[in-house]
Structure 1
Amino acid sequence: MLGKAIPVIILLLISGQARANSTANPAATSPPGPTTKTTTENPRTTQPQALAPTSTPATENGIDTIIIIIIAVCIVVPVTAIVIVTLVYACQNKREASPATVVLRVQQAEMATDEDRHDDLELFNKLCSDYSNLTGENTSLRIKLQTNYISTNFAAGAFDHTGGHLSLPRHDINLFIPPGAIEDGRLQTIHIFVPPSMNRGKPAPVVHCGPTGTTFRDHVILSFPVDPDYDEFVPRFTNTDAGSTEQWQPMLGDDDAAFIVKNGKCTLFITHFTGFGAEANDETPASTADKDDKTIRVGVFASKHTASDRLYSYQMRIRFYDASADASERMYQKEMSLFGGRLLDDDKRMQVNKRGGTVRVRVSKIAAGWRTMDASDENQRLEFEELWDESDETDASCTVRLRKINRAAPVTDVWATVSVWQEQSHGTTVTLKPSDTLQMSLRADPPRGYLSATQAFLHQQEELRPSDRVFPVLPLDIRHEMCVLLDVELAGGNDWRMLAEKFGIDSPTIMWIGRNKSPTSKLLDFWETQNVSGGTVALQRLCDLYQEMERPDVKELVEKVSSGDLRDSGYGTDRDSRSPNGSLASLVNSILSEPVPETHSMDASLKTKKKKKTMPLVEG
C-alpha cells in the first residue's frame, strides 16, 4: 500500500509546489510582453479579465489543505498500521512466552484426536490379548515369574512379593517393584504402555501403568527419560485409562509420592497406578554449550558374516552417539553402509557430565567357548573429550575382539555383558547384553528348519516377545542389613543422609525420604533403578561409594555379594552368566510343541551344562 502511495504523493507535492510558486510570483506566469499594452489598447478586455476565474488566497489555501490531508492519509495511515501490527505481534509473543501460555500450548499440542486415541486403544487391547494368549494355563508359574513380554510400546508380566523390573528398552522406561511391595501370596499382572500418538516430539513420554488403580504396600519406582536441554520439569498424572481423554494434574510431593529429576531421567515414587508424564517449564530448550550434562546413546554393533567366514573370531563395536532420533538413524546407516553392521541389543541412553571424568567400558560374562583376544579388550577407556567436543556432536567407539577357545568346538552362539560408566560419577551404570547366533547371520531370512526353538518363536511373534526378567542386584537379606546400619543417624553424618547426597538427590526429596520408615531402603530402590542389570560392576561402584563414606562395615556387605559368596541366595548376580534365552527354553518348547534339529538348537548345547535354577527365597 505504501509503495503505491509514493508516486501519488510525489505528483501531489509537485503540483502543490507549482501552485505555491504561482501565488508567490504572478508575473512569472504571465505571457511575455508589456502588460500596459493590453490594458490601454483594449479597455474592453479589462472587464472580462476581471471576471475570469482567478486563484484567490482562500482557494489556494484550501487546495493546500486538501493536499496535506491526502499526504497525511497516504503516509501516516500505512505507518500507523505497521506500528499497530508490530505492537500486536510483540504482545502476542510476550503472552505466548508466559508460563501459563506455555502450559496451555503444551497441553494443546498433546491433545490427540479421537482417531489417534482409537488407534492407541486398539493397539493396547491387541497387546493385552497377545499377552493373555502367551501366558495361558499351559504356562508354569515359574516361567511367568521369571519372564516379561515386551514390544516397542508395551511390556507386561506377572509379579509376586519378590518384585523385579519391567522395562521398555527402546523408550528407556523402567518400572521397579521392590521386594515386599506386593503382599505375600498375591500374584499381580502389571503392564506399562506408551501411547504412540502421545509421544511425538515431546520432551518427556506419557506412560500408562496398569491396571489403573492398582495399589501397593510400599512405593514402586517408575523412571523415564526427559530432554536434558530443558532446565525444569514438573511430573504430572492423569487418573484415566489408556485411550481416554487425559485429565492432567501436577504431581505434588507428599507422603504418598515423590520425584527426582536427575541425569536426564525423571524418577517417581508412587503407590498406585495411573498415567504419568512430565511437563517442561521452559518454552524452548537451552543451548547445550551452557550445559554440564549431555545425553548420548550407547549401542553394540557387529558386522554381517558371510558363508566364507571361518567364524573363529568375532568383533563387537561399542558406539557412542547423540541421543536424537536423527543421530541414531545416521549411526545405523553408517554401520550398515560401512560394515553391514547390525544392532545386537537395544541401544540405551547415558548421561555424561563434564566433570565426570573418563568413561569406562567393561566386558564380562562372555559366552562359554569364547574369550577376548587380549586383556585390554575387557577394560577400555574413552576420554571425555572424545564424547563431547567443540562441535557438540558425539561419534566415538571402541572395539571388543573375541576368539574361540577351541576352533573345532561347535560353538555357534556368542553373547556378553557390556557395562559403561563414568569414573568420577555415582550415576547410572549402563548395561547392555548383546547376543548373536553366528549361523543366523549367514542368511538374511533363514528357513524355519534352521531356527532354534527360541528364534522360531521370536520370528512368529512380531509384536510381543519374551524377555528374561531382571531382579534386584542386592539380595534381600543384604538390603536389610544395609538399612539397619545406615538408617541410624551418626554424628559424622556418614549415614543415609550422606548416601543421598552422593546420589545427587535434592534437599526437599531428602527430607521426604527421611520421613519414611527406612530412608536407606528408598535410596537403594533409587540405586536399583539407576543400575538395572548392573551386576558386579554396579556392586563394585557401590563398594567404592561406601569407601568414600568411610563405612567399611557396609562395604563388607556388598563385597560378600560381588565376590560370589551369596550367589545362591536368591537374586540376579548369577543370572547374568547364562544364555540370554536360558529361562525361556521350556516356555518356547511348550508353545511350539515341535521337534527342533539338535545341530542348530541354541538350547541343546546348554542342556547338559545348565544348572537347575530355583526361585528366589524371600521373606514375606
Structure 2
Amino acid sequence: MSPQESSVQPFQFLLLVGIPVASVLLLVQCLRWHRCRWPPGSCQKPDDPEEPVSPSTPLPEYELPKQCQAPTLPEVAAFYQELHMPTRGQTITRQLMNKLLVFSAREVDHRGGCLMLQDTGISLLIPPGAVTVGRQERVSLVLVWDLTDAPSLSHKQGLVSPVVACGPHGASFLKPCILTFKHCAQQPSQVCAYSSNTSLLDAKDWRPLGQPGTHTSRDECRILLSHFSLYTCVLEPPLGQTARKWLQLAMFCSPLAPGQTHLQLRVYFLNNTPCALQWAITNEQPHGGRMRGPCQLFDFTGARADQCLKLKYISEGWENVDDSSSQLVPHLHIWHGKCPFRSFCFRRKSANGNEECSTLTNEIIVTMHTFQDGLETKYMEILRFQASEEETWAVPPPVSQPPLCNRLPPELFEQLQMLLEPSSVTGNDWRKLASHLGLCGMKIRFLSCQRSPAAAILELFEEQNGSLQELHYLMTSMERLDCASAIQNYLNRTPGDSPTRLRGGTWENCGLELDEKF
C-alpha cells in the first residue's frame, strides 16, 4: 500500500461516519425544537423571551378605546360631588374625568320637582309624594356626551337617542319618577329602551328594559324609573323589516373675513334630536364655527349603505382644494350615532388685479348632494351653502329679554294644538306657523304625515327656544287672534294662579297629578 493510500483512508472514514452522525444529531435537535412549539408556549421556560406577536387589526376609528389612567378615590368622590351640587336651575356643560357632560342638579322634598337640560329635550320629573315628608334629596340629570358609554351594537341595531344618567346611581323613591328624552326613529314600535345598572364611571352593562313602564311616542321616550341609573334607546327592527331613522344635516363654517384666502365647510350627520345638534354646536365653538342655515332632514336607512357627500357647484372665483369632490361616511358611524362630519376646503382664485374677479370672491355659494351609496336615484337631498364678507358674525351685545320657554306650559300647549290642528281653507293653521319658522314645502309635507302636525310644529318652536312673547307675536301676525288670546291669558296669570310655572329655566309641578305632557 502506498503512503498516499494510507493517508486517504482515515479521511474517507471520517466522511463516511461523521456526516451521518452529525445529520442525525441535527435532526434530533430540530425535532425537539418543533416539539417545543406544539402547542405554543407549552415548552417555554419562564426566563425565555416571549415570541413576538403580530399587531392586531386596529379597531374602526369610532371604536378606539380610551387609554385612561384609573381614577383615584378622591378624584371619584370629587367627580360625583360636582355632579350632585345644586346648579340653581342652570344647565352646566363641563368635561369631568375625561367625559364631556351636560348636567343639572337640585334638591327636592315631598313636593317634588323637575330637572330639565336646556336645549336638549331631556327632563326628569320627581312627582309630589316621591320623597318622605321632612326629607330633602339631591338629584341630578346628566346628558353623557362620551360616545364610549353608548351600548355596543350590532349592524342591525341603531342608536336613536342620547345616553342619559339619573343620579345618584341606585337612588329610589316612594313613587316612580319620569325620565323623558327625544329619539329619532321613524317607527316608534321598533324602539327598545336600554338601561345600564352601573354608575357613570364603571364599565357599562346595557340590557333591554322591557315594555312595562316605558312609553315611546312619535319622537319621545318616557320611562317610569323605579331607581336611578343610565338609559338610552336602541332601534331594533323585527326580522325581515328595514329600520329607518331621521338625521339632521347641519353645516358649519367660520366667518368669511376680507382677505381670507381659504374657507372650510363642515357638514355634520346627526341624529334628529336636540341634544345631538347641541353637541355639534359645542364641538364647533373652539374653532369659531357657527351653523349656517337651518338643519335639513334626511331619511336614513339601516341597509348598510354608506353616506355620500358630493360637491356639485362652487361659485365663480373659488376652487376646491381637496383632491376629491366626493366624501364618504361609513354607514355604522351614522347608524350607531357617532355624530360624524365631513369637510370641504375652498380657496379664492387669484384675482391678478382683476377688480371684477375680486368682487366675485367676496361671496361663496356651494351646492352639494348627499345620499346613501347605491340609492342616489331613489332618494337624495340637496344642500346649499352661502356666505359673504358683508355678513356680521359679531356677537350682539346682551339685551334684556324675556326668559326662554324651553318647553311650553302643558295646558297652553294642548290648547294651541287644538286650535291649530284643524285644516283651514286659507292655510292659516299649523302650516302657516311652520312657514314662519322657516320650514320649506318638503318639511311641511313631512309634518302633515305625522299623527299631530300641530303638536310637531309646536315642539319645533320649543326646540328653537322661542319665548311666549315671540309666539304671541307670530300668532298676531298670522291673524290667529284666538291663539294669541290664549297666550295672552296665560301671560296675564300671576305665578300663584298656575299649577305649573317656570323658574330659572326649569318647570316645577306643584300639583298632585302628573301631567300627560311629561
Structure 2 length-normalised TM: 0.40
Whose strand proportion is higher, 1 or 2?
A: 2
Structure 1 length-normalised TM: 0.35
Larger Rg: 1
